[in-house]
Chain A
Amino acid sequence: MLERRGFSALLYDRIVPIGVVVAVIIVLWYGFAVLLNAQFERDQAARAKTEITTSQLIERTLSQDRPLLPAPHQVVSEIWDTTVMKKITSKRSLVYHGWITLSSTLLGFLMGTVLGISLAVAIVHSKVLDRSLMPWIIVSQTVPILAIAPVIIVVLNAIGISGLFPKALISTYLSFFPVAVGMVKGLRSPDVMHLDLMRTYNSSAAQIFWKLRWPASVPFLFTSMKVAVAISLVGAIVGEMPTGAVAGLGARLLSGSYYGQTIQIWSALFSAAVLAALLVMLVDLASRIVLRRMGMAQ
């Protein structure tokens, strides 16, 4: 196949395929918006004893205040209104709520990564811990986070800890898992020859760790951090729900559903998705830079 370069490569390998998918999604979305919201307009017309034409019907289904499924342009204009048009200190600004969620996501992600690495190091170096800790780590993830999140928030609140930390703790609970599992695999990834080599040098356990196991595990660390940062965001959003919908993207989702503000729900949902995508891209960028420096980029 002919190799494309520069802008033409970007256009044909990235923009065109992604653009086609996005266009298909938007078309389908509009179709479903009309389909799902039509019943309400027909009922309205019947109640007012008037006839509506198809074009009127379509127009009205795409501009309802509380549609079953908001149209894409309604979500976009809501996001525009609540980000660019509002002061970021405003309680109605998505940037404000996004920042609240982001800060607990990042704190939780950081704690989860540190916890995951520490557990992996302990497990790799101790057979006893490998047998005793690993089952609990797996069991921890089978407990539904929706069930455990309120418990954490309420218990910590009772002893006077509230705000950022309890939410971050829920992110930690979710994000330590992929890091622990990935790092156990990464720290065990050096092959027998590499380990034998260190043995012939009469290396200490610390030297084997820092000169062999740790650098060998770095690609695994970044892969699991990509998963961890995305579920940290999920954790932060879940953590914002039982607090009574005060602030954060989770609060926007919850208050939106209380008052039937579907447009608000969808715009919070999209902001969360964009935030998650940005976070994953950031970790990916860090991964590329570090691996290139280490000579391991492919």
Chain B
Amino acid sequence: MSVVIEAKGLDLTFGTGEGAVHALADIDLSIESGEFVSLIGPSGCGKTTLLRVIADLEKPTGGTISVNGVSPEAARLARAYGYVFQAAALYPWRTIAGNISLPLEVMGMSKADRQQRIAKNMELVNLTGFEKKFPWQLSGGMQQRASIARALSFDPDMLLMDEPFGALDEIVRDHLNEQLLKLWAQTKKTVVFVTHSIPEAVFLSTRIVVMSPRPGRIHEVIDCDLGDDRPLDIRETPKFLEIAHRVREGLRLGHSYED
């Protein structure tokens, strides 16, 4: 296994003077290829900001970070990752196939290549048959699956996911969690996953990064060695509950439950 993301003493302050917000403070984190790492914490703990720094959507104000051994910007220019947002962010004037085709068009792929990748990735997220539908004709869960297919379409090494299932109801969320695990097992991508749900983090991850707010920093990193085979029922096993308890304790010690 090789290190794909390496942050050392990472710092990020938005604005200056009185109104300055210290979003990230002294972040040390290293993520290896093939890992599924969740960033968990309350609102304002900087978990989304950290993901955005990895994606080169924000610039850090201090410390160093490398992605695939180069700067985040170089990694973005090399199209190293697929990004999944909180909302599906599908373009309403494109069909589902058209939306998945978007990054492929931007990258200048041939039509035949595009069609083959669209078909493959739509099958991967169980959306075959919905190619010609427009986003508003699909449920929220299906839209988010389409957005995952879009992120995977150009076969990046890394998947960066920012609370992708946060807006969905729990039943749909459970179902998509299961599908995401299968997808991860099939593709062996490195996944960095932002969430504020403890069961979701424990169910999906190989490692859980517990963050605490004001300023956003890493409180604890918890190994989540539940193995590769994780049916939904695993959530009632003592081992699962023990890890979930440790995450909750970590959040409490990180002052996440205070006003």
Contact = CB atoms under 8 A, between A and B. Distances in A.
Interface string B61-78: 000000000000000110
Interface residues of A, number: 20
B83 A196 contact: yes
Interface stretch (B9-17, B33-41, B85-93): B85-93
Contacts of B136: 295
B107 A294 contact: no
Contacts of A193: 85-87, 89
Given A200-B81, A294-B93, A296-B93, A211 B106 contact: yes
Interface string A87-120: 0000000000000000000000000000000000
A197 B85 contact: yes
B57 A196 contact: yes
A217 B218 CA distance: 42
A163 interface: no
Interface in A204-236: 207, 211-212, 215-216, 218
Contacts of A215: 91, 93
A200 B91 CA distance: 15
Contacts of B89: 191, 193-194, 197
B93 A201 contact: no
Contacts of A211: 91, 102, 105-106
Contact of A202 (B57, B77, B85, B86): B77
Contacts of A218: 93
For chain A, what secondary structure do more than half of its interface residues adopt (helix, strand, loop), or is it mixed? Answer: helix
Contacts of A296: 92-93
B255 interface: no
B93 A295 contact: yes
B55 interface: yes
B134 interface: yes
Interface string A141-165: 0000000000000000000000000
24 contacts: A191-B89, A193-B89, A194-B89, A196-B83, A196-B85, A199-B57, A199-B76, A200-B57, A200-B82, A201-B107, A202-B77, A202-B79, A207-B106, A211-B91, A211-B102, A211-B105, A211-B106, A212-B91, A215-B91, A218-B93, A294-B93, A295-B92, A295-B93, A295-B136
Interface of A: 191, 193-194, 196-203, 207, 211-212, 215-216, 218, 294-296
Interchain residue pairs A-B with the least CB separation, the first 3: A295-B134, A294-B93, A193-B89
Interface of B: 55, 57, 76-77, 79, 81-83, 85-87, 89, 91-95, 102-103, 105-107, 134-136
